[in-house]
Amino acid sequence: MLYFVEIDVKIPAEIDPSRLEDMKAREKIASSEYQRSGEWLHLWRIAGKFGNISIFDVSDHDRLHEILWSLPLFPFMTIRVLPLARHPAAIDRPPA
């Protein structure tokens, strides 16, 4: 199943800087692993924000939930999820 996921991250000002750097490093490792697995298809930065727009291809809602909850920065995220369905007017294109 395909999902459009918009993530906005709001870090509390009082967080310990070394803890934040550790969380960011673990976040990068986690997102890289999910991308390599093929579950996190696209990851796009939102210009001017600490957030992203992503496309996930996972087996079901529960798997997406597991992935999002596993992210180290999850406690600081506001997440919007939209399930995607193929549009009948979409033209099939070969992968880039």
pLDDT digits (tens, 9 = 90+) for 38-91: 999 999 999 999 999 999 999 999 999 999 999 999 999 999 999 999 888 888
Task: Sheet with 40-45: list strands edge to edge.
Answer: 40-45, 51-57, 2-9, 77-84
- Identify the structural domains of the chain with CATH numbers, from first to last: 2-84 (3.30.70.1060)
DSSP letters for 2-46:
EEEEEEEE---TTS-HHHHHHHHHHHHHHHHHHHHHTSEEEEEE-
pLDDT value at position 96?
A: 52
**HSE-up (13 A, CA, CB side) for residue 85:** 1
**pTM metric for this prediction:** 0.88
